[in-house]
Structure 1
């Protein structure tokens, strides 16, 4: 009974708490998924940093969803007036630290000393990505701000080379790779000029309901009822910790899940919960 009360209370509280104030979400370029056989001539490849997407508008720092990032003044003071698109990153395997640091409304100076702003694009710069990359290399790094760095890029060659680089990156604790077409303009939408290459499929869905558990999970979350951006609904019932089942993501939250292909109806197979979607995830 105690667990059930805890689960119900948490769900009620989540539905009553007001969302934090937001500005209009910045129009950022979002990635599609790379598949073997896709043409990669003219693409650049870089590591996919497992952090929080950060957008510097020339004056303030924002998340992908339009939440203002309250960073210490010393972190942002040396940044240029030029808009920057990048990842607020705490290092490989330290995603949770990056999230807690970025989301805190009272900046933790020691935690921010661990952060890096890995910049991979200049949204307001004219020209294609090849041109923007040249401008980025001239702009960064900044002597007074060694925590602001340009993302290292190399030319994509063959799928075999990409797979070898992915395997090496994963072995070192990285998340995956990003591919960016050199001849592409910056478009604030999801498109194939930007691709992500990871060892598994993942996607995002919005929580539309909670399904109560049975047996061992009686009185707490059994599964999330989620809806994909295309409108498909399915139950997401595995991948949760006991703590997450006691205090599940609220209705309206976006979550990231991993899966292995899709059935003929387009529903993901063997879907497993990964995390509540953080504003930085691409």
Structure 2
């Protein structure tokens, strides 16, 4: 392979898949820009979301994306996110998904199903990678904490642009409760909290995390980040806190970054 061919391969687009509780999203990612090539594809997550059922939908999404003109080669690796702790390709938590995933080798399952290399990463970690490389954390040195507020509280710990995986900061115990049981976006809706009331809970959570890690930057992701002007101005922290920039594409882009880094297809 010539140096030109190697450079082209490193800059080639890859497929990223984001497995969520309600939808499985996918797209073709331009790794030079951190953007999707063409439209994002979304298919409802099967219920119950068993490994076999989810693997079938992931295969469906990859097949559709692979048929597009801008798709990468059929043997190119695929990056996938999953809402749980992933260590050496194995699922070690399933707080918001079907418990049949516990101890499942999801890397092996999806690699066999897709018949191409697959790398799986925690969904919040993927969003963090995307924000650190292309979004609000681009170029920031030191510790960047990406906190996603959704069904639970996800977190990504980035240090000097590199991911420290599986930082489950949503499960910190604060005032005798798991933080995500009181301060997630779903908890706000469940408890009927106003933005002012919700901001008090977020202040308590972020102040605690700030004390523990002294980050250079907080980035708030999840669907609720679209309403950041309702709660971020009410908070008082030493650390700058900003909304995520990549929105709903962050997981897809982060999945593609992870597989590119693992297979040495990106710097």
Q: Structure 2 length normalisation: TM-score?
A: 0.30
Structure number with bigger Rg: 1
Q: Structure 1 length normalisation: TM-score?
A: 0.29
- Higher helix residue share: 2
